[in-house]
Amino acid sequence: MSLSPFGRAAVAIAAPVMLAGCGINSIPTKEENAKAKWANVQAAFQERANLIPNLAATAKGAATQEKDILTGVVEARAKATSPQIQISGDDLKDPAKVKAFQDAQNQLSSQLGGFGRLLANVEAYPELKSITNYQMLQSQLEGQENRIRIAVMDYNTAVQGYNTEIRTFPGAIGAKIFYGAKPMVPYQAATPGAEVAPSLDGKL
């Protein structure tokens, strides 16, 4: 049975509405938003890594007795910034790749925490605390840790919105039929407390 002109017009009007209701537009929109937030996370971690060489160079003279700790920070930075660890927006649905990135960043955070406790001993390194350049770098690094936490929270919020959309009705229909959508992986601390920013004044 053929539709009347009025019937065809009604279908033409209703079809986009039905598709929109199935997440045909919202799913890619939410996915791209999560990818953009991830780019901010990576940028925040990279900015932290960029501060470490200057910090290490400033502290090197005062920390000659604790070279292993300083070396650990530098090595952890190298791993956290290596091309093998970096992931793209398309990798955010691969739990193994996301975990590798998380582990590398958490390892660097752990090393920075130990570095901070080392340098917090004013009696051992009184000259370091008086170095304006070191104090400035310390402040910059702590500020960057706060920016990392904000970027991670924004990313996780975006991932939650996307994952909810593809798992609930009616978005789940569009996710399955049109996109074969898979959940994105939120950023999680590898160990309890690892989401807390390391402090360079020795206070955790």
Type and span of the H or E element at 160 = helix 132-167
Distant-in-sequence, close-in-space partners of 37: CB < 8 Å, separation ≥ 6: 151, 154, 155, 157, 158, 159
Contact of 79 with 107, CB cutoff 8 Å: yes
Distance, C-alpha 168 to centroid of its chain: 25
Please tell me the distance from the alpha carbon of residue 174 to that of residue 73, in angstroms, as a whole number: 46
Question: Does the pLDDT at position 195 exceed 50?
Answer: no
Distant-in-sequence, close-in-space partners of 22: CB < 8 Å, separation ≥ 6: 170, 171, 173, 174, 177, 178
Provide the mean pLDDT of the chain.
78
Domains of the chain (ranges; CATH) run 5-179 (1.20.1440.20)
What was the pLDDT predicted at 25? 83
Question: Does the pLDDT at position 10 exceed 50?
Answer: no
Distinct helix (H) and strand (E) counts, the chain: 7, 0
Distant-in-sequence, close-in-space partners of 141: CB < 8 Å, separation ≥ 6: 48, 51, 52, 55, 112, 200
What was the pLDDT predicted at 17? 43
Question: Does the pLDDT at position 71 exceed 80?
Answer: yes
pLDDT tens digit string along 125-144? 666 666 667 777 778 888 99
Q: Which of 4-18, 22-36, 184-198 has the lowest mean pLDDT?
A: 4-18
The pair of structure tokens assigned to 196 is 């807390």
Considering only residues 128 and 26, tell me which one the structure prediction assigns the higher pLDDT: 26
pLDDT tens digit string along 173-192? 877 787 778 999 999 865 44
pTM tops 0.75: yes
pLDDT tens digit string along 84-103? 999 999 999 999 999 999 99
